[in-house]
Amino acid sequence: MAEVEKREEFIEEVPEKEEKIYVASKWKLMWWRFRRNKLAIAGLVVLVIFYIIAAFCEFFVPYDPYKYDVRYVLAPPQRIHFVDEHGFHLRPFVYAYKMDIDPNTLRRIYSEDKTRKYPIKFFVRGHEYKLLGLFKTDIHLFGVEGDGHIFLYGTRISTTVGLVGIFLSFLFGIIIGGISGYYGGPFDIIIQRIIEILRSIPTLPLWMALSAAVPANWSPVKVYFAISIILSFIGWTGLAREVRSKFLSLREEDFVTAAKLAGASEGRIIFRHLLPSFLSHIIASLTLSIPGMIIGETSLSFLGLGIRPPTISWGVLIQDAQNFRTVALAPWLLLPVVFVILVVLSFNFVGDGLRDAADPYAR
């Protein structure tokens, strides 16, 4: 009897699950398929953490990044401890640094001074800032009473420059690719020749040339937006070709003809009928393009042609690691590279998951 009841329950559950699939919207089907990809979910979690830190970096960092002690310019990151000579402590702490000079090489040697211990406290008061540029406060997530510095500001510029660049590429790609594919004829011929010329130019030398043209006396904000435009200068060509090919295949479909006969304007046909039909593919394509923007900004800033000090980005932070001697003496200067790799991998995982979920009806 028990086995019969289990079979009946299973038979009732299967139609119910199938019914949910049949009545679910396309976006819900995409989400169900996306969440089955464990790497994509892990990448999404990592990106959410990074962008939360980028948005509220003033709250997360305990110290003003533009003020530092010249005695500890190349000091290694402080280690967080839970155990000392007295045993285990629930509250983490750090030891202060003491600096010695090597008499032979004159190299600065930093070591922990275990006679000075500073507990790490949460929600401490420090330098004043404006949260999101709106609310003035001096509360920080954590901090210590003595020496110790942790900088997170590089995350904001490097992660958001990709979003700004992708937004501009999205606009250029949709508009130009849509015109090329929908109208065809001479518009299509001219636009495709322009795209071919732009795609034939080596990307990195072009970025370097355009970045070098940015005036040195520009403010960090102007430089930031200039770099965003430069990164999107070539990025729109690939999306424009994808949009063009989709428009060429869809413009003769029955639903487009029906919309024309119903008196719909060309703008309505493009933005209400054609674009939504493959919007999921566009989102997946854009997600996979963001890592290229981040790497482009980091490379330009590393070479001194992108974001410039005192603005902080990952590329600016690793500028000091351009020579072997510095890397040998202070290898922790390459730490921002780890974050670049982590974010780029996360975007690739999320992009792969979105690409697989873009067609929820495929098996």
* pLDDT beyond 70 at 353: yes
Residues 120/142, Cβ–Cβ less than 8 Å: yes
DSSP 8-class letter at 270 = I
Residues 81/94, Cβ–Cβ less than 8 Å: yes
Residues 158/298, Cβ–Cβ less than 8 Å: yes
Cα torsion angle, 166, 170, 171, 176, sign: positive
Across residues 235-251, what is the average pLDDT?
Answer: 82
| Apex 296 CA angle, 293 and 300, nearest 5 | 145
- Residue 45 banded pLDDT, cuts 50, 70, 90: very high
Residue with the two structure tokens 């967080």:
80
Q: Cα(236)–Cα(243) distance, rounded to whole angstroms?
A: 11
121-135 CB burial, b ≥16 within 10 A, e <16: beeeeeeebeeeeee
DSSP run (H or E) holding 83: strand 81-84
Contacts of 282 (CB under 8 A, 6+ apart): 170, 174, 239, 242, 243, 275
Q: What is the pTM of this model?
A: 0.71
Beta strand 81-84 with 108-131 is: unpaired
pLDDT at 4: 45
Task: For residue 122, give Cα distances in angstroms to 39, 52, 119.
Answer: 32, 18, 10
Residues 314/298, Cβ–Cβ less than 8 Å: yes
- Residue 70 banded pLDDT, cuts 50, 70, 90: low
Retrieve residue 143's tokens: 């901090």
Q: 230 has which bridge partners?
A: none
Max mean pLDDT among 94-98, 103-107, 170-174 falls in 170-174
Residue with the two structure tokens 């795209």:
195
Q: Cα(44)–Cα(349) distance, rounded to whole angstroms?
A: 8
Residue with the two structure tokens 């110790």:
148
Give the pLDDT confidence of 268-315 residue by residue, as tens digits. Answer: 887 777 877 777 777 777 777 778 777 777 777 777 766 776 677 777
Residues 284/358, Cβ–Cβ less than 8 Å: yes
